[in-house]
Amino acid sequence: MKTIIKAALFVLAGAISGTAFSEQALSLDELLKQVEKGQVAEARDNRVRERRFLAEQTSQQQKLTDARNTLNQKEQQAAQLEKLFEENERLLTSKQSQLKERMGNLTELFGHLISASGDLRGVIDNSLTSVQYPDRTAFLDQLIEKMSGAEQLPQMQEIERLWFELQREMTESGKVVSFTAPVTSPAGETSEQTVVRVGSFNAITADGHYLTYDNGSLAQLARQPASEYLQWGQTLSTSSTGLTPFGIDPTGPSGGSFLSALIDSPSLVERWHQGGVIGYIISGLGVFAVLFAVLKLLTLAVVNAKVKSQLRSNKANNNNPLGRVLAVHEQDPNMDSETLELKLSEAIIRETPKLEHGLNLLKIIAAVAPLMGLLGTVTGMIITFQAITIFGAGDPKAMAGGISGALVTTVLGLIVAIPTILLHTLVNGKARGLINILVEQSTGIIAQHTEATQATQNSAQPASANTAASRPEPVTA
């Protein structure tokens, strides 16, 4: 406290020194005069302050008196208003009782009207017809508020309109109509477009794209169903009469469960990508097997044409397997039957691998493809069960999606194996047919050669017998 007083005195002394002692004293007398002048000035300032404080005190006292008077007036006014409020409450209660008594059975009628209005309000909130008739919501809200407040009675025109709106909702739900409405694109842009409404089920644009309805606005679905449904929508939007096929979702216009399931269903390409690396390998094997089988069929077709041409020719040609087999006999027609048979068998064995080349590869692909598909399925199931272990099985859709993706590789394996087996059977049949022709022709050549040899031997035996008969018997001693 002493420190504060000292600081105040120091500040006061500085102020005095700054005013009264602004001029430097040359002697003690002059310093005394300056101190006297400072005291006189300070006393004059103090008197001015006192007069100002007294004037302000009088003003503040007057303001305080005015505030107290105002408070008293407001308290009296509040008491009067409270008394008036109580009287109004008693009057309102009396009037309400009188109104209820006079309304009588109308109360039950208004209850039914309120219930019907509320039900219709809930229906049109989710009804696709509200896009075409947007003014019904405000009317129903106003009618419900009027009947619930019990201050006003609904007019006959309003009751008739309620009935009309009920009838219109039922009628419009069975119509296919076209009108113009704002539509929001997937990019967020809103524009006026021609909309075709199919009852209260679905709405499409003029080009057949499906729309979703939410909070009184239409928006184009970011992902549309298959092109078949879009073509049906285009046909419906351009037709005026007759029956037109169209995909309707009976669960509602807000992208119901059926339409959502149809849209969320992956396409063939997306399912193929679900197979992963193993699916890609299986697909590669399938493409290779088909291309190889087609190439083999073309090669065998060319060989078959050359073989048929060789069958019509009397001279062996080395550009086909049959010609090369027949050339064995043409090169040495006088060999014995056993040697000819061995030579022809050797030639057939030499031609057989060329005709059967690649058949075992097709058979291996047909056997390996399902096994690789099973491997992909087992791997996918392991991954799915690991996810279930980590995140739990709270979402059956996610678990079903993982299992579905795991089974894609099995499907791919079967898709590759079945046509590969059929192609292998076809190619093998073509090759076996050509080999059978070679065997048949070589057997015929051997039979011909054997018959010719036997005929030659038979013709030579009688001549030798006649020579022996004409020869004289030896003489004995």
Nearest to 445 by CA among 327, 273, 286, 293: 327
472 pLDDT tier (thresholds 50, 70, 90)? very low
Range from 118-127, 190-199, 300-309, 348-357 carrying the lowest mean pLDDT: 118-127
105-129: average pLDDT: 80
SS (H, E, C) 169-199: HHHHCCCEEEEEEEEECCCCCEEEEEEEEEC
129-175: per-residue pLDDT in tens?
888 888 888 888 888 887 776 566 778 888 888 889 888 888 888 88
- Domains of the chain, by residue range, sit at 1-19+29-103, 105-173, 178-262, 273-459
Residue 241: DSSP 8-state: S
443-450: average pLDDT: 82
104 φψ region: left (φ > 0), alpha (ψ -120 to 50), beta (else)? left
Tokens matching residue 156: 């006959």
217 pLDDT tier (thresholds 50, 70, 90)? confident
Q: What does the alpha-carbon distance between residue 437 and residue 443 come to, in Å, rounded to a whole number?
A: 10
Contact 124/140 with Cβ under 8 angstroms? Answer: yes
Nearest to 416 by CA among 300, 315, 292: 292
Please name the residues in contact with 359: beta carbons below 8 A apart, sequence gap of 6 or more.
424, 427, 428, 431
337-366: per-residue pLDDT in tens?
788 888 888 888 888 888 888 899 999 999
Nearest to 162 by CA among 207, 112, 211, 212: 112
Q: CA 293 from chain center: how many Å?
A: 38
Contact 386/345 with Cβ under 8 angstroms? Answer: no
Q: Is 424 exposed, middle or buried (0-12, 13-18, 19+ CB in 10 A)?
A: buried
234-243: average pLDDT: 81
- Provide Rg for the chain, Cα atoms: 57
48-62: average pLDDT: 81
323 vs 106, residue with greater confidence: 323
402-420: per-residue pLDDT in tens?
777 788 899 999 999 999 9
Q: CA 96 from chain center: how many Å?
A: 58
377-388: average pLDDT: 82
Please name the residues in contact with 428: beta carbons below 8 A apart, sequence gap of 6 or more.
356, 359
Q: What does the alpha-carbon distance between residue 163 and residue 147 come to, in Å, rounded to a whole number?
A: 16
Residue-wise DSSP of 47-109: HHHHHHHHHHHHHHHHHHHHHHHHHHHHHHHHHHHHHHHHHHHHHHHHHHHHHHHHHTTHHHH
- Beta-bridged to residue 194, according to DSSP, are 180
pLDDT exceeds 80 at position 296: yes
285 pLDDT tier (thresholds 50, 70, 90)? very high
361 vs 26, residue with greater confidence: 361
242-252: per-residue pLDDT in tens?
788 888 777 76
Average predicted confidence (pLDDT) for the chain: 79
Share of the chain above pLDDT 70, in %: 83
Burial of 220-239, coded b for 16+ CB within 10 Å and e otherwise, reads: beeebbeeebbebbbebbee
pLDDT at position 85 is 92
pLDDT exceeds 60 at position 20: no
Kindly report the number of other CB atoms within 10 A of residue 172's CB atom: 18
167-191: per-residue pLDDT in tens?
888 888 888 888 888 888 888 888 8
238 pLDDT tier (thresholds 50, 70, 90)? confident
210-228: average pLDDT: 81
pLDDT exceeds 60 at position 391: yes
Contact 211/183 with Cβ under 8 angstroms? Answer: yes
Name the pTM for this structure: 0.54
Contact 198/249 with Cβ under 8 angstroms? Answer: no
251-275: average pLDDT: 70
pLDDT at position 467 is 43
pLDDT at position 264 is 67
69-105: per-residue pLDDT in tens?
899 999 999 999 999 999 999 888 888 787 777 666 6
pLDDT exceeds 70 at position 64: yes
Q: Which of the listed ranges 154-158, 236-240, 257-261, 365-369 does the model predict with the highest average pLDDT?
A: 365-369
pLDDT at position 26 is 58
Share of the chain above pLDDT 90, in %: 15
228-252: average pLDDT: 80
Q: What does the alpha-carbon distance between residue 244 and residue 239 come to, in Å, rounded to a whole number?
A: 8
Q: How many CA atoms lie within 13 A of 175 on its CB side?
A: 11
Nearest to 353 by CA among 426, 434, 288: 434
pLDDT at position 398 is 62
Nearest to 169 by CA among 134, 124, 135: 124
Tokens matching residue 216: 């009184």
Q: Is 60 exposed, middle or buried (0-12, 13-18, 19+ CB in 10 A)?
A: exposed
